[in-house]
Chains A and B, each alone.
Chain A
C-alpha cells in the first residue's frame, strides 16, 4: 500500500554542523507534507510544512525540500544544537484525506 518512510533510523551529527533528514513517500496523490519533532515523553511538535505546489520552504534554522519527481522530502537543520536531539517524523496527506500518514521516524543525536 501507499506509505511514507524514512531512509535512516538514527542520525548522529556534531553540534554546530548541519543535518539532513530524508523521507520517501509513495502516494502520488499526496499534496501536503509536514515535519514534526518529538522529544521523549512529549507529543509531536510542529516544525515546518510544505504544499505540493512548492519545492522549498524555509523557517528559522530549518528548510524543507520537496522533490515530487522522485517523491522525496528532506528536512535540513542548520547549526544543530543539543536541543535539536529528538525523533523527527515526516508525514503526508493525500488530497481530500483528513488524517496524516506518518513515517516511523529518525532519531537525531547531537554529539558535543
Chain B
C-alpha cells in the first residue's frame, strides 16, 4: 500500500518568510510524528499526534514552530519567520498506534537563504 507522503519535496525560502510542510500518513495510522534532520546529524523529534488528543509538543525548538493535524489524518508543520538555522530535512512518520513501529516519509528538504 501507499507509504507516508510529504510535500513539497524541496522548498527554498528567504529568511523571515513563513513555510508550510505537509504530511499524509499511511491510511489507518492514528499516530503521526514530525522530526528534523540537520546536515550530518541524526533525527530530532519535534511533535507527536495521537488521534484527536492534544499533541506532544515537547520537541519543538521554538514558538516559531507549530503543527496541526486535521481530521486525524493530514498534518501541516508551519515555521514562521524562518531563520537560516531552520534549514534541514523535515521528516514525517506514522504508526498504527501509540508506541508502534514508525514508518517515515521521504522528507521535505528546506533551505532558508
Contact = CB atoms under 8 A, between A and B. Distances in A.
Interface residues of B, number: 26
Contact of A99 (B4, B42, B59, B105): B59
A72 interface: no
B99 A32 contact: yes
Nearest to B9: A41
A71 B74 CA distance: 37
Contacts of B12: none
B101 A49 contact: yes
Nearest to A49: B101
A42 B106 contact: yes
Contacts, number: 55
A41 B37 CA distance: 12
Number of chain A interface residues as a range? 20 to 34
Given A44-B91, A98-B48, A103 B42 contact: yes
Contact of B43 (A32, A49, A89, A93): A89
Given A36-B104, A43-B91, A45-B104, A102 B43 contact: yes
A93 to B, nearest CB: 7
A76 interface: no
Interface string B67-106: 0000000000000000000000001000000110111111
Contacts of B56: 98-99
A48 to B, nearest CB: 10
A34 interface: yes
Contacts of A103: 42
Contacts of B48: 98-99
Given A44-B91, A99-B33, A34 B104 contact: no
Interface of B: 4, 31, 33, 35, 40-46, 48, 50, 56, 58-59, 91, 98-99, 101-107
Pairs A-B, 3 closest by C-beta atoms: A99-B45, A102-B42, A43-B104
